[in-house]
Every structure is written in structure tokens, then in C-alpha cells.
């Protein structure tokens, strides 16, 4: 196997077809990073991350600089004898750079996600082998993606819910704003029907009294799972909601690494997790988080950052196939959200949330469309 020869790091602003809004942010573009890894024999692989300060504490600029100055130079020249050796290295790192490279107290799980994917993709292509984790080679037969609704009101919300019903979705996650949760859920339930599995995501909008009141009111409309109702660091408050409501409490921003998951499990502060590759330190680490959550009796949702390309969608499909017991899936939005996707093939869910087929090619199973990549790059650096 060859050594790592060079990295190319880019900041990307891939435009959305329409803004995506929730209680913590409103976005019009991907605001992401793309990392190209080139091996000495000329194989190319890519990694992607979408740093979000309110999710992992990482900004795009800070992540760009950390990768370019502290992490990537230490990987140039490193030899991996096989793809399995790459996986072993990433498993040992478990979603973060070695401590002698980056202080573990510095948030960088999004940064490491780009490294994880780039190495897997490059060395998978170098040896002509698809990236696979775990014993299962295929997606669960009954797996379907949920639709995720942007926070909206009035006619815009009505149109969105009608479209979701016409598209045959039987699961939906509703992004809600602080004071309009019941109104949003009531409208969604009226349009999408009692048979639709609805859940909500508050994106840290409430305090404990507000969450207790709202979760109980939403239960009257068949909502039994609320994602991240409280601030990410309010672990005691989350435990209170689990204990006093008897309803599902899913964590997202509260989870990014192994230590945060163990703390949540120990303090019984959730009943479910939202595992996202871009926030949990890459494909290998996110697989570990999902397996640990299942061992602890938690429900697993495999999620996505808003604005992911087909590269991360391909990685997500590989993850879901490996985990198997995934109750909810969010991702593979493709051209439903992005005006242009710099990777092919395009991985996008179909009618009723039917997933695409598992990537078939070597590495992560995608190839780059250079003209789209160049069009939306806003900053580039090369590390040799």
C-alpha cells in the first residue's frame, strides 16, 4: 500500500434550493469542508464535514485551520499497509486526533470526520475495495428514510405537509420553534394522518419547565419522541425529562464522542441518540457510537447535517447497513435540497423514503465532478 502524498482542503458553499430553518439556525448553503487525500500511486479519496458551532463547538474557519496546521501535516507520508490497517488506525483514534496532535479538550470531531472519510475513500480506491463495516453487506429490507421538515408556518407549512403525504412518507421529523410546537404538530397530524410516525426536534429551544409542558401537550397528538429539547450541556435536565415524562428523549447536540455517550448512558439522560457521521468523528467512530447505544438499550437514529453531499450520503448508507437496527434515518436529500452536488452517483431517497442502493464502487463508491467543486469553492489550501 502507498503512503499519503498530499491533501487538498477546500471550504465549500453549495447553494440550497430553498432555505432550511430550525430553532438554532437558518441556512442557505452547505457551509462545509471537503478534503481530498492523494496517495503516492495516484489514488484519490474524499472526506467531508459540516462544522457547526452549536453542535460540536467547531467553526468552519477554525476547523479549516486546525486541519491545515495541526492534523494533516502529521498524516502526509504515513503508510498504511491495507484498508484494514486504515480502519484499525481510525478505530484506535475513535473519532478524534491522537492526543499528541490535538489537545482532547479542543473540539474537533467534525474535523476528524473529514480525515476518517478521506482515508477510507483513498485507500479503498487504492486497493479496489469497497468500504464496509460490520457483518451485514446490505441495507435492512424494511428501512425507510424519514422526511425532515424545516420550521415553517401557515401556507408554507401546509404545502410541505401535503407534499410529504403525497410522497408516501410514513415517518416525519418536524423542526419546531420555541412557541409554536403544538400548532405545528396539530397541522402536520391533520394533513399526514394518525398513521404517520411523527416526532419533533426542538434544537435546544426550551428550558426544563417549558419542555415538560410542551412534551406532555404534544403527546396528546401522538408525539412520543422529542429531540434535543434542552441545551446540550443540561444533562441533569434531560434526565429529569426522561424520568418525569416517560416519553422518548433523543439527544443530538449533547452527543459527539465516546465520553459524552457514556455520560448520557450513566445518568439515564436519554432514550435515543441521533448519530451523525460529521459530528461524531467519522464513519468508524459513529459505527462505534451506534453499537454502544444499542447495547445500552437506546433507540438509534442515523442522521445527517443539512447540506451533505452524496459523499456523506454514501458513507451513511454504509453505516446503516453495518448497524442494522436503525429505527430512524435522515439523509440522502440529494437534489431535494442542493442545487448542485459535486459527487456522482447522486444518492437520494425515493418515494416513501425508499433508500438508494448501497454504494458499489471502491472506497465510498463516488467520484468527483470537478467543475461543480471549482464553482462553489471559497477557500483552498494544499498540504504536502
* DSSP track, 113-155: HHHHHHHHHHHHHHTT-B---SS--S--TT--PPEEEPS--HH
Report yes or no: 275 and 293 within 8 Å, Cβ to Cβ: yes
Local structure of 275: helix, strand or coil? strand
Q: In angstroms, rounded to a whole number, what is the distance separating the alpha carbons of residues 342 and 25?
A: 24
Q: In angstroms, rounded to a whole number, what is the distance separating the alpha carbons of residues 124 and 115?
A: 14
Local structure of 274: helix, strand or coil? strand
Residue 149 CA: distances (Å) to CA of 191, 305, 350:
14, 14, 16
Joined grid coordinates for residue 301 = 437514529
Handedness of CA 191, 195, 196, 197 (dihedral sign): positive
Q: In angstroms, rounded to a whole number, what is the distance separating the alpha carbons of residues 362 and 170?
A: 33
Predicted local distance difference test score (pLDDT) of residue 184: 93
Predicted local distance difference test score (pLDDT) of residue 79: 96
Report yes or no: 55 and 377 within 8 Å, Cβ to Cβ: no
Report yes or no: 320 and 302 within 8 Å, Cβ to Cβ: yes
8-state DSSP, 23: T
Report yes or no: 316 and 304 within 8 Å, Cβ to Cβ: yes
Contacts of 365-372 with C-beta under 8 Å, sequence gap 24+, read 365/130, 365/131, 365/314, 366/46, 366/121, 366/310, 366/311, 366/314, 367/343, 368/36, 368/44, 368/46, 368/342, 368/343, 369/341, 369/342, 369/343, 369/344, 372/340, 372/341, 372/342
All residues at 6 or more sequence positions from 146 whose CB lies less than 8 Å from its CB, including other chains: 169, 171, 172, 173, 197, 328, 329, 330, 353
* 246 φ, ψ (degrees, to nearest 5): 70, 15
10 Å CB burial of residue 219 (0-12, 13-18, 19+) is: middle
Predicted local distance difference test score (pLDDT) of residue 134: 86
Mean pLDDT by groups of 10 residues along the chain of 384 residues: 93 89 70 97 97 95 98 97 96 98 97 98 96 88 93 83 94 91 93 94 96 96 96 98 98 97 98 98 98 98 96 98 96 94 97 96 97 97 98
Predicted local distance difference test score (pLDDT) of residue 104: 95
Report yes or no: 243 and 220 within 8 Å, Cβ to Cβ: no
Strand partners, 211: none
Cα 200–181–244 angle (5° rounding)? 70
What global pTM score does this model have?
0.95
Residue 275: count of CB within 10 angstroms of its CB:
27
Residue count of the chain, please give it.
Answer: 384
Predicted local distance difference test score (pLDDT) of residue 21: 57
Residue 344: count of CB within 10 angstroms of its CB:
12
Amino acid at each position: 500500500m502507498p503512503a499519503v502524498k498530499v491533501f487538498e482542503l477546500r471550504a465549500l458553499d453549495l447553494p440550497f434550493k430553498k432555505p432550511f430553518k430550525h430553532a438554532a439556525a437558518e441556512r442557505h448553503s452547505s457551509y462545509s469542508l471537503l478534503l481530498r487525500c492523494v496517495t503516492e500511486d495516484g489514488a484519490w479519496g474524499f472526506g467531508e464535514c459540516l462544522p457547526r458551532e452549536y453542535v460540536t463547538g467547531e467553526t468552519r474557519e477554525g476547523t479549516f485551520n486546525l486541519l491545515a496546521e495541526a492534523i494533516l501535516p502529521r498524516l502526509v507520508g504515513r503508510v498504511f499497509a491495507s484498508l484494514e490497517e486504515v480502519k484499525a488506525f481510525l478505530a484506535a483514534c475513535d473519532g478524534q486526533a491522537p492526543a499528541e496532535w490535538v489537545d482532547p479538550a479542543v473540539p474537533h470531531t467534525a474535523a476528524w470526520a473529514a480525515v476518517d472519510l478521506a482515508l477510507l475513500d483513498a485507500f479503498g480506491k487504492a486497493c479496489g475495495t469497497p468500504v464496509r463495516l460490520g457483518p451485514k453487506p446490505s441495507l435492512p429490507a424494511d428501512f425507510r428514510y424519514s422526511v425532515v421538515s424545516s420550521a415553517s408556518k401557515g401556507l408554507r407549512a401546509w404545502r410541505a405537509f401535503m407534499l410529504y403525504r403525497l410522497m408516501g412518507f410514513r415517518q416525519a421529523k418536524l423542526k419546531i420553534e420555541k412557541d409554536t410546537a403544538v400548532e405545528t404538530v396539530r397541522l402536520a397530524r391533520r394533513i399526514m394522518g394518525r398513521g404517520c410516525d411523527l416526532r419533533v426536534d426542538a434544537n435546544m429551544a426550551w428550558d426544563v419547565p417549558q419542555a415538560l409542558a410542551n412534551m406532555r401537550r404534544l403527546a396528546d397528538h401522538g408525539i412520543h419522541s422529542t429531540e434535543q429539547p434542552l441545551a446540550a450541556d443540561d444533562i441533569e435536565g434531560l434526565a429529569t425529562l426522561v424520568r418525569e415524562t416517560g416519553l422518548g428523549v433523543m439527544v443530538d447536540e449533547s452527543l459527539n464522542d465516546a465520553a459524552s455517550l457514556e455520560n448520557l448512558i450513566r445518568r439515564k439522560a436519554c432514550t435515543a441518540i441521533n448519530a451523525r457521521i460529521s459530528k461524531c468523528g467519522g464513519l468508524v467512530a459513529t459505527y462505534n457510537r451506534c453499537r454502544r447505544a444499542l447495547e445500552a438499550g437506546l433507540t438509534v437514529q442515523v442522521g445527517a447535517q443539512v447540506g451533505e453531499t452524496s459523499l456523506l450520503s454514501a458513507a451513511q448508507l454504509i453505516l446503516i447497513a453495518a448497524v442494522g437496527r436503525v429505527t430512524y434515518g435522515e439523509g440522502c436529500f440529494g437534489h431535494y435540497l442542493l442545487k448542485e452536488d459535486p459527487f456522482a452517483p447522486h444518492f437520494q431517497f425515493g418515494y416513501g423514503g425508499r433508500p438508494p442502493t448501497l454504494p458499489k464502487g471502491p472506497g465510498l463508491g463516488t467520484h468527483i465532478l470537478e467543475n461543480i467543486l471549482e464553482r462553489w469553492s471559497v477557500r483552498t489550501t494544499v498540504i504536502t
